[in-house]
Homo-oligomer: A and B are copies of this chain.
Amino acid sequence: MQTLDALGAGAGPAPIFAALGDRTRLSLLARLSDGEPRSIAALSADTDLTRQAVTKHLHVLEDVGLVSSIRVGRESRFAYRPEPLAAARSYLDEVSARWDEALARLKSFVEG
């Protein structure tokens, strides 16, 4: 099953998981997943972090395509992007399926 290595966005799913591997970024994504684009100031509002720290996290998310940004007037709005997360999901599904097949083989071996 080479697809485990083949599929993936760009350099594979690892960078996507890496981007997801941070509480702050997960929180940002969760807030943006309601479809409402938000400015950096808005996203930094109820956080104990600096605006700059939030900005860096948003750039990390943007680098792997999890969010997109457009400049509107003096503020830049960040919006959720579903594609990379779908890729991540399908990768986890593949690994999971591989495991389920292994279980099925084991079961049929024991029974048969």
Asked if A103 and B35 make an inter-chain contact with CB atoms under 8 angstroms apart, the answer reads: yes
Contact B29 A18 (CB under 8 A): no
A residues near B (Cβ < 8 Å) are 4-5, 11-23, 26-27, 29-30, 33-36, 80, 82, 85-86, 88-89, 92-93, 95-96, 98-99, 102-103, 105-106
- Taken together as a complex, chains A and B put the C-alpha atoms of A21 and B42 apart, in Å, by 28
CB contacts (< 8 Å) of A106 on chain B: these are 35
A-B contact pairs, 24 of them (CB 8 A): A4-B30, A5-B27, A11-B23, A12-B26, A13-B26, A14-B21, A14-B23, A17-B17, A17-B18, A17-B20, A17-B26, A18-B18, A18-B20, A19-B21, A21-B21, A33-B98, A33-B102, A35-B99, A35-B103, A36-B102, A85-B95, A88-B92, A89-B89, A89-B96
In chain B, what residue has the closest Cβ to A95? B33
Residues of B within 8 A of A5 (CB): 27, 30
Highest count of chain B CB atoms <10 Å: which of A12, A19, A86, A89: A89
